[in-house]
Structure 1
Amino acid sequence: MPRAPKRRRRVLKQDLHTQTEAQCKDSSSSSTCSSSFPCSSSSSTSSSSNPPLPSIPEEELGGDSTQSIALSPQEACSSSAVMTCTPRSQSNEGASSQNDEGPSTSQIVGDPEAFPRHEIDAKVSDLVEFFLHKYQTNTPTSKEEILMCVIPNCQDHFQVIFDEASECMKLVFGIDVREVDPTVHSYALAISLGLTYDGMLSDVQGMPKTGLLILILSVIYMNGNCAPEEEIWNVMIGMGLSFGEWHCIYGEPGKLLTEDWVQEGYLECHQVPNSDPPRFQFLWGPRAHAEIRKMNLLKFLAEINESDPRAFPIWYEEALRDEQERDRARIAATDAFAMASSSSSASSNIAYHK
């Protein structure tokens, strides 16, 4: 089975480091796109009609950057469409071969001889499937229920299995497993980053697609808030997704990018003026701007990169500006509401005295 979370983490790591180096050399590139294409979005034009699907010559994709981040091209799914995750303890390139040669860091937690790596992977996959069911039915769960129903007799390995399954839910499906009561270790599942979309109401029923959406929005963010289609498709290919090919979780990637997420307001897809052959660029849509705080997204990316948001100063400064702008907007809205309430109260008093 594919190692999707590891692949996704490597995609974001590669983009973070590549973009950091490029933007440190030319900081102006972080705030503007090509001079022929305005970065300021116009949501009314993008949402009113679906843009054509991008058509990129195959030889223009899969360059050095793609080769450096792409792992196996396989994207097979199990019968339950649950992907096996690669834990952070297997971060090096030879992790898969080491699984057969000796125990990983997570494997030696508890009794090192009780669970070989492949059995832990199987338990992680079972728990991911269990978490998906809980999310789809909007029901909480607990450590007791997990140990009883999903991974019985795994008390010593619970934390390893739980952490890896939670990471898989976050990276593949964009779903957070949150502890709501530490005294009884109860958990609820919610969409990451405060998004209100999970993609379950589509022609691929029942599978959250928020993880891929967050990945695409992150790529746009790391490319100065405006990413060329070639960059987006290179990342998709690095994830094992191909234009025009059906995927059991995400459906047809081209439709997701240029129709579904545009109509939902999370993306804008515009043709670059005077481009021949036509070229497209992707920006955040109004719904993404409204729902995602860039500081939260940066923390999400830093966590994947096992780093700190301050380690990426260009994006950290932009995220701080975003926080300040949101604070000013909130204060202005509060003041406007207070003034309106005061005016209404004064008018009522005048009418009463009359």
Structure 2
Amino acid sequence: MASTSRAARSQNANFSQASRDITEVDDKVRAILNYILDHSAEQIPIKEKELVTAAGDKSELKIRLQLVTELLANRFGIIFKQLDTAPKCYICTSETAMVSIHELTAAQRPQITLLYIILMYIFLRGNSIEDTKLYGMLELLNIKVDEEHGYFGANLRKLIEETFVKQQYLKRERSQLSAYDDPKTFLLWGLRAKAEISYEQIVQFAAKLLNQSPRNFDHQLAMAQASENPEP
């Protein structure tokens, strides 16, 4: 009986120790950090099971994740966010917004320019746009998503519907009003776009692109901000 009691106390002590967050950098913290940093440039969500592999097991990851998150923010200016998905995933976003397109490589600039055009149009249309209407707008700018473009390149439909969505710059939602209607796909700002790009930046971009005063977009800006911060 005594040995059973001692075993129970030992298990409780181990549980208490395991539930305490690690506050010092050890080899497992370094392994988790290195994995995140190595994959952050891809801008693809990192699955929890991948971090578990780096940590050794799920409990080891759990007690180190808070420290890892703090180190990423304090040392590298990276915000590590959990997505509301199943299975559990995380993304890395920059702590500071991009100031100039010249911060990007030559290969990145066409993609980000196209992304800004898309985010601008979604913003101007009330933060949600049917994909066919978006593609119609792009075609007016001589950007055909199923044809190669001289500046933006080829495979633009895949870039928009797969790459930007996987990177969490865009979010796709399907809607069907009734069983008699064809389903429609809508595009919205994704979590990464909201974290890295402000509505004010998009207003400045729209003003320059459309040669208008930023004040002409006050209504859209107020609507966008209200949708992000609804009154209780």
**Relative contact order, higher structure (CA 8 A, sep 6+):** 1
The TM-score with structure 1 as length reference comes to: 0.33
The TM-score with structure 2 as length reference comes to: 0.48
